[in-house]
Structure 1
Amino acid sequence: MNDDELDHLVEKLDLDRKVRLLDGATVWRLHAEPAVGLRPIVTSDGPAGVRGEGWDERRTSVLLPSPTALAATWDEDLLTRLGGLLAAEARRKGVDVVLAPALNLQRSAFGGRHFECYSEDPVLTARVGAALIRGVQAGGVAATAKHYVANDSETERLTLDARVDERTLRELYLVPFEAAVEAGVWVVMSAYNQVNGHTMSESPLLAQPLKGEWGFDGVVVSDWGAVRSTAASGRAAQDLAMPGPNEHWGEALARAVRAGEVPEAAVDDKVRRLLRLAARVGALSAAPAAPAGTAQDADSADSADSADSATGGGHGDEDARALVRRTAAAGSVLLRNEGGLLPLDPARLRRVAVLGPNAATARAQGGGSAGVYPEVVVSPLEGVRAALAGRAEVVHTPGAHIDDRPTPLGLTDVCDPRDGRPGVLVRLLDGHGEEIHAEHRLSGRILEPALVRGARAVEIAARLRPATGGTWRLSVAGWGHVRLTVDGRTVLDEEVVRDTDDPATVHLHPPYRTAEVDLEAGREVEVVAWRRLDRDSGRASALAADPPRGRDEDAETAAAVALARECDAAIVVVGTTEEIESEGVDRDSLALPGRQDDLVRAVAAANPSTVVVVNAGGPVALPWRDEVAAILLGWFPGQEAGHALADVLFGRAEPGGRLPTTWAGTAIAGTTPVDGVLEYAEGLHIGYRAWLRRDDAPAYWFGHGLGYTEWAYESVDVPGHAEPGRPFTATVRVRNAGARRGGEVVQVYLSRPESALDRPERWLAGFARIEADPGETVEVAVTVPARATRHWSVEERGWRTEPGTFEVHAGRSAADLPLRAAVLVTPGAPGAPGAPGAPATSGTTPGATPRTTPGTAPGAPGRG
């Protein structure tokens, strides 16, 4: 639909109708407008899957690996395919706009939400993010580039002022968003935080460079609740306030226009952009037909019965499951493999121990608003058992426990007291305590019950048959007045005062209150959690039950060691908890929780064939890394976790990942604001760039990953001269020097000796994935884009090139770069050194890799 047609539609609307469109109708829906043929536009969280409207465990979704795992593939084609899978899921659920990808950088290893972002490097983030966007939007569904901009930590995230100098903004934090616009993204989400004194929903950065210089013609939607003013945000290039109704827009915005505080032309531009989005996703009657199931009334309440059922749709499709499984393997990173322990040969195994707190129930996804409900998650234990069925015995014990949070009721040992089905009964009550709605649910964690007018309280009830006797911990979660009864006897009655405005905490993670109750094994009791539904008390309620603990941690570790000693191989799965990696909270340590480090050391001492699988979304400390034979990073691997892990462990697939972040025992940059201000004082030097300036070294460098074969880097060729503002090509020759077909990520970095500017020691300029058979040589052309040799000039307010020699480094990671060449970047002059026709510098240069031995990262085992 062209601009003239859009203008004609805008002209049909009076001011009140226009401002109504710019304010959400519900949490997830936009308003319909029959006068212009507009149906409701439906949004949904991403990026690990498309949940659809609301939170309901009965409405399952395909669960992808975490974005850190996706970035670890360094595979744009794969990301585009995954974008297509997300689009298919969105269409199945009647969703028009997927709120993904998150393009913020992993500035500090302490960031608690980094599992939802891609990388510490702007180039890698830009390329994989743009690939996902192209895949989603090729399916007729809008992708959303978020959170614009510098929303790189969680501490005080609603209000912090990120102080970032202009050059750093341009060369780091804005780069992925610029790439998203170049990829044609249809929606950009403004962040909660301030940048340099302006909250992002009012920021001049929305106008320039986003809509002006870059030419973004889509919709700027707020993060949920991030519009907190009327005139300031109305005058800004903010287009849509979500969720709705938002007290600051709607009628308030109309009044501001009539008072002359906001130009009506600004409102018209916002509406025009919204209608353009509607045309793109098929929500205008004049546009292509909308996907089935989306044309519902804008103001209708969310309901599980009106959405897809628990068994319908494509989430069980074998092609989708195979793609997710392949992706989890492709993103797994082999950090260490001493003696070639991996892959394990199933023919040589008779007994295998699968140990660790995350072995039987791995974390498949991170915590927070991006969560979805998969139909099934294959645990590492299940995956290994399936792979070795009929070949080897698989034994298990956790060896350690790391999570003391209450466990919401599920389908085991509990039933609905009304009909006896496994699960719980959820009732909504009016002000007199009378039931006005009831439904059967599959979990005791209820994030969004059906919205029924007149509901004043929610009740979760279940009949619990204790498997063991003793003192149980029974818990209720929620803000406001909560109560817990057992067989009609009140065991807890408390007022829980809300102490935060962070929506992730308010709506997803309210605090638990716990009572200890003695229960008899096998004797059923009826447990009821009740919560008053006060205004602004959040949407979450929970009923949890945990059996007597009585754990002896020394005995648990000893049991794991005893099993490991009797087995041919030991696989130890360690990881983080939701308290450590989740939206709304940053970390203060990279240490694994509990006694997991002790468990790893003890098992490795008992069995030299120990493989440690790290189940975490971001960097964790690995103090035992020199003591174990193999370390495999699995990230948060999605629903096919166990099958993908088994594929890699037993050689059916190669661990194809390379680190998108630097792994060390600590973080260099902090995440805690001082007096509300978070200074990005490190400037351009984050991640590997920061470590390259230090005398010590991280455990594993950005880009590191081993695979199951060996690679010989033979030469790099570049032109002797390159024109400023133009790309050039680095041709890298590599040979598969191992005995197995495999894949490699050829990485090209630049450096600028004797620069007059503050620059990183080197920075990623380009990369390419290759595959080769044993002995095969491949020449890969890696494009070095013009931007890689340019810097942002604050004085001239533009991109400029510092003429002179740039060094080109090629290799396997930020610190394993055995090849070096040089290119003179300056306007060419005939006959001048490095001018067109002059010979290029190529091959292996002595001393090419500062502070490293070729093939080895400083201070780190294995190759960098």
Structure 2
Amino acid sequence: MQYNEIDEKIEELLSMMTLEEKVGMCHGNGLFRTGGVPRLGIPPLVFSDGPMGVRNEFADDHWETVGGNWDFVTYLPSCTALAATFNRTLAERVGEVLGCEARGRGKDVILAPGVNIIRTPLCGRNYEYFSEDPVLTAELASAFIKGVQRFDVAACVKHFAANNQETERLSVSAEVDERTLRELYFPAFEAAVKAGVFTVMTAYNRLNGTFCSHSHKLITEILRNEWGFDGVVVSDWGAVHDTEAPAKAGLDIEMNVTSDFDDYFFAKPLINAVQKGKISESILNEKVRRILKLMFRLNMFSKDRKRGGFNLPQHQQTVLDAAKESFVLLKNDREVLPLNADKIKTVAVIGNNADKKHSTGGDSAAVKALYEVTPLSGIVMRLAGGAKVSYYPGCLDETYSKHEFHIPSNADEKTRAEIEEKARAANEEYRNIELRLTEEAIQAAQTADAVIFIGGTGHEQESEGRDRPDMTLPYKQDKLLERILAVNPNTVVIIISGSPVDMSPWIDNAHTVMQGFFSGMHSGTALAEVLFGDYNPSGHLPFTIPLNEEDTGVKALGEYPGGEKVCYTEGLFVGYPYHDAFNVPPLFPFGHGLSYTTFSLTKAAYRQISGSCKDYEISVDITNTGNRSGAQSVQLYVEPEKKEASPIRTLKGFQKVYLNPGETKTITFKLDERTFSEFCINSGWVFNPGNYTIKIGTSSRDLPIAMTLTL
């Protein structure tokens, strides 16, 4: 159907709808659906959470799971894991899996991806987001969105905007200056619009005093008028607090977590507001037009709508491919990795994350996974009986419950004494278990041929609805690691987390360290392939790992978590721009990632495109100088002439290249006017002529190639 035919059909449907029917399409009539108009053949819009897989089924009007054994799905890598691949093609493939499975489960809109910037390491939802960098986030999110929407399912980019903490997320006001919004927090949303995303979700928080769902500036002035978004804007569940303000701001659909659907702000109150003339019916009509247009885009009125599928073998292969590329080799000083499976007879796997499944945690990002291969399982399967693998938790985590004893205020002395004795005995038993687990792990570390420590965080620490209190590893893992490394400095240390953790207590004594993420159902399979050299690690850090929380721009210059307001006074100095500008050495820089082979960069050159003074093509040769095939993510950074309020350098391009030993390839980057512009409050994006240093390398701090452009 052509666009003019669609427009005509939309107007025809709209003309036949009652006020009540129009309003019914603009709010939740179930926890994950809007109202349709059956007499006109208009279906409801059905939503589901993402981004790590299609969420399990819930009852229509209360938070109770109703799926049996049929709603298991493919468990996808988190967005931080995807970002660590620096691979646009892979991000698009993972998006295709999500879109196909959402369509296969009968969903119309999948609530993903999340593109909020990782402002602080403590945000509980960092694992759902991509990166601290706007360019990396924008590029991979755009590819992901294209993949999702290939299956007649709408991606829903979220949370617009400045949703960078979970603490007081329902009410806190993020106070952010316009330039910081435009250059750091908005680019990924703008890129998503340019990539053709069909829906956008507004955030819970206020932005500069106004709830995001109520903001005419955000929704109409910027998103629609400036960026040209013509899709549907939906609220986060429970992010609407009024009827008139969000209706006039441009919000199309209100969703919530309660079952009083007729009493939503966009339900009966919206009908009353239109009837009393407080809101023009033309405003309501525009909302319905956009919703109907979305339905036509998704072929919801067509017999030719694409079918999906879930739990397909090719989906599981995509997850495995993505997981393998997500692991980041941070240190390999003694070349302990890759491990030689033919020479190892005993393996000690230590740590609480070694045999833990993560798919069911994280609240709205939880997934009912068809299966999940833990790291321990992956290692055991890879060695296939060729070596003895023993597992030692080493510490007490949430799987071990610590009994709490409360003494009633009216308890007599005998009762009080009995309770105190029970508490003493229980605590002693708890300490004895803790001591036993630790000592067993230390003993194993002294005697095994290979020792692999797998620790980090889980969704007990990283989850929607709460932030981490600090960067410290939970469950006394630091002390355990210090002791293990003291008896076996060749221990392979693997941290699995969605955010940076504090490694300072033990990092100097660890010679082999790898950063992993919540990488989906084949995380353990992928890890084993990387550890034993079946796959050469090629991940790069999507965030800076600071020495500690004090060494972050937010802690040093800004405010977190704030009270009624949280002031982003650090401005653009989030992540690596802070470390560069204020000369604060990171533990591991943004973009860092080692390989089992080596690479060199040579023959850098540039040329103007079509004689333009603002558009350039930069080329560089990369050679695999080692003896293994591998991949490298080449990164291009731009340094303007020194300006006090600007970062020293920012990422402007990246390319991932696969090379055989001795192979050389030429890669190119294209830079345009926006690359050399900054946002000025009174004039918008302004091109700045002058000298720019172009630096190319493999992390924000490893940049051996430099050239100067004069614009």
CA–CA separation in structure 1 for the residues paired with 2:439 and 2:190? 54
Percent identical residues: 38
* RMSD of aligned residue pairs (Cα, Å): 2.6
| Cα deviation, residue 150, structure 1 | 0.4
1:96-126: CA deviation from partner (whole Å, max 9, x where unpaired): 1100000100011121110000000000000
Contact 1:737 1:775 in 2 (8 A): yes
Distance 1:577 1:405, change over 3 A: farther
Is 1:788 matched with 2:670? Answer: no
| Cα deviation, residue 246, structure 1 | 4.8
| Cα deviation, residue 53, structure 1 | 3.3
Q: Higher helix fraction: Structure 1 or Structure 2?
A: 2
Contact 2:375 2:525 in 1 (8 A): yes
Aligned to 1:347, the other structure's residue is in SS state coil
Is 1:356 matched with 2:351? Answer: yes
CA–CA separation in structure 2 for the residues paired with 1:577 and 1:388? 26
CA–CA separation in structure 2 for the residues paired with 1:164 and 1:722? 38
- Alignment correspondent of 1:206: 219
CA–CA separation in structure 2 for the residues paired with 1:638 and 1:24? 30
- Runs of 5+ unmatched residues, structure 2: 59-64, 409-418, 423-428
Instruction: Give the aligned residue type for 1:271.
Output: V
CA–CA separation in structure 1 for the residues paired with 2:603 and 2:177? 38
Q: Which one of 467, 470, 473 corresponds to residue 586 of structure 1?
A: 467
Q: Which one of 284, 293, 311 corresponds to residue 267 of structure 1?
A: 284
- Alignment correspondent of 1:32: 36
CA–CA separation in structure 1 for the residues paired with 2:631 and 2:584? 30
CA–CA separation in structure 2 for the residues paired with 1:207 and 1:725? 34
Q: Which one of 16, 20, 25 corresponds to residue 16 of structure 1?
A: 20
| Cα deviation, residue 241, structure 1 | 0.5
CA–CA separation in structure 1 for the residues paired with 2:273 and 2:400? 47
CA–CA separation in structure 2 for the residues paired with 1:611 and 1:806? 42
- Alignment correspondent of 2:412: none
Is 1:93 matched with 2:76? Answer: no
| Cα deviation, residue 713, structure 1 | 1.8
Aligned to 1:678, the other structure's residue is in SS state strand
Aligned to 2:35, the other structure's residue is in SS state coil
- Alignment correspondent of 1:222: 235
Q: Which one of 597, 601, 604 corresponds to residue 709 of structure 1?
A: 597
| Cα deviation, residue 561, structure 1 | 1.4
Is 1:729 matched with 2:610? Answer: no
TM-score (norm 2): 0.90
**What pairs up with 1:39-118 in 2 under 5 angstroms?**
39-54=43-58, 55=65, 56=67, 58=69, 59-118=71-130
Aligned to 2:130, the other structure's residue is in SS state coil
- Alignment correspondent of 2:521: 639
Contact 1:107 1:152 in 2 (8 A): yes
Is 1:187 matched with 2:199? Answer: yes
- Alignment correspondent of 1:459: none
| Cα deviation, residue 781, structure 1 | 0.5
Is 1:700 matched with 2:588? Answer: yes
Instruction: Give the aligned residue type for 2:228.
Output: G
- Alignment correspondent of 1:196: 208
- Alignment correspondent of 1:385: 380
Aligned to 2:619, the other structure's residue is in SS state strand
Aligned to 2:571, the other structure's residue is in SS state coil
CA–CA separation in structure 1 for the residues paired with 2:194 and 2:583? 38
Aligned to 2:648, the other structure's residue is in SS state coil
Is 1:557 matched with 2:552? Answer: no
**What pairs up with 1:800-811 in 2 under 5 angstroms?**
800-811=686-697
**What pairs up with 1:664-679 in 2 under 5 angstroms?**
664=546, 665-666=548-549, 667-670=552-555, 672-679=560-567
CA–CA separation in structure 2 for the residues paired with 1:217 and 1:245? 27
CA–CA separation in structure 2 for the residues paired with 1:141 and 1:176? 20
- Alignment correspondent of 2:700: 814
Aligned to 1:739, the other structure's residue is in SS state coil
Distance 1:199 1:281, change over 3 A: same
Contact 1:106 1:152 in 2 (8 A): yes
| Cα deviation, residue 474, structure 1 | 11
CA–CA separation in structure 1 for the residues paired with 2:68 and 2:620? 49
| Cα deviation, residue 673, structure 1 | 4.5
1:181-231: CA deviation from partner (whole Å, max 9, x where unpaired): 001000000111111111111102100210111111110000001111011
| Cα deviation, residue 598, structure 1 | 1.6
| Cα deviation, residue 722, structure 1 | 9.4
Distance 1:549 1:50, change over 3 A: same
| Cα deviation, residue 133, structure 1 | 0.3
CA–CA separation in structure 2 for the residues paired with 1:399 and 1:247? 50
Contact 2:694 2:709 in 1 (8 A): yes
Contact 1:150 1:195 in 2 (8 A): yes
Between stretches 11-20 and 169-178, larger displacement belongs to 11-20
Q: Which one of 307, 314, 319 corresponds to residue 310 of structure 2?
A: 314
Contact 1:40 1:283 in 2 (8 A): no
Is 1:5 matched with 2:9? Answer: yes
Instruction: Give the aligned residue type for 2:510.
Output: V
Instruction: Give the aligned residue type for 2:706.
Output: R
Contact 2:27 2:264 in 1 (8 A): no
CA–CA separation in structure 2 for the residues paired with 1:574 and 1:91? 36
Contact 2:25 2:44 in 1 (8 A): no
Aligned to 1:778, the other structure's residue is in SS state strand
Aligned to 2:483, the other structure's residue is in SS state helix
Q: Higher strand fraction: Structure 1 or Structure 2?
A: 1
Instruction: Give the aligned residue type for 2:23.
Output: V
CA–CA separation in structure 1 for the residues paired with 2:586 and 2:313? 40
CA–CA separation in structure 1 for the residues paired with 2:400 and 2:103? 36
Corresponding pairs, count: 673
Contact 2:160 2:201 in 1 (8 A): yes
| Cα deviation, residue 395, structure 1 | 1.1
Contact 1:378 1:640 in 2 (8 A): yes
Aligned to 1:206, the other structure's residue is in SS state helix
| Cα deviation, residue 724, structure 1 | 7.5
Instruction: Give the aligned residue type for 1:172.
Output: L
Contact 1:722 1:823 in 2 (8 A): no
Contact 1:235 1:266 in 2 (8 A): yes
Distance 1:824 1:327, change over 3 A: same
Aligned to 1:208, the other structure's residue is in SS state helix
Contact 1:724 1:801 in 2 (8 A): no
- Alignment correspondent of 1:339: 334
TM-score (norm 1): 0.75
| Cα deviation, residue 291, structure 1 | 4.8
Instruction: Give the aligned residue type for 1:591.
Output: T
- Runs of 5+ unmatched residues, structure 1: 293-312, 407-471, 476-490, 494-514, 519-547, 826-864
Aligned to 2:103, the other structure's residue is in SS state helix
Instruction: Give the aligned residue type for 1:25.
Output: N
1:574-611: CA deviation from partner (whole Å, max 9, x where unpaired): 11143421111112310101221122122222223211
Contact 2:169 2:205 in 1 (8 A): yes
Contact 1:13 1:35 in 2 (8 A): no
CA–CA separation in structure 2 for the residues paired with 1:785 and 1:242? 40
CA–CA separation in structure 2 for the residues paired with 1:115 and 1:776? 35
| Cα deviation, residue 88, structure 1 | 1.5
| Cα deviation, residue 721, structure 1 | 9.0
CA–CA separation in structure 1 for the residues paired with 2:178 and 2:81? 30
- Alignment correspondent of 2:456: 575
Contact 2:152 2:305 in 1 (8 A): no
Is 1:241 matched with 2:254? Answer: yes
CA–CA separation in structure 2 for the residues paired with 1:237 and 1:725? 39
Instruction: Give the aligned residue type for 2:333.
Output: E
Contact 2:673 2:687 in 1 (8 A): no
Contact 2:359 2:366 in 1 (8 A): no
CA–CA separation in structure 2 for the residues paired with 1:405 and 1:10? 58
- Alignment correspondent of 1:765: 652
CA–CA separation in structure 2 for the residues paired with 1:349 and 1:598? 27
Between stretches 122-131 and 689-698, larger displacement belongs to 689-698
CA–CA separation in structure 2 for the residues paired with 1:616 and 1:658? 14
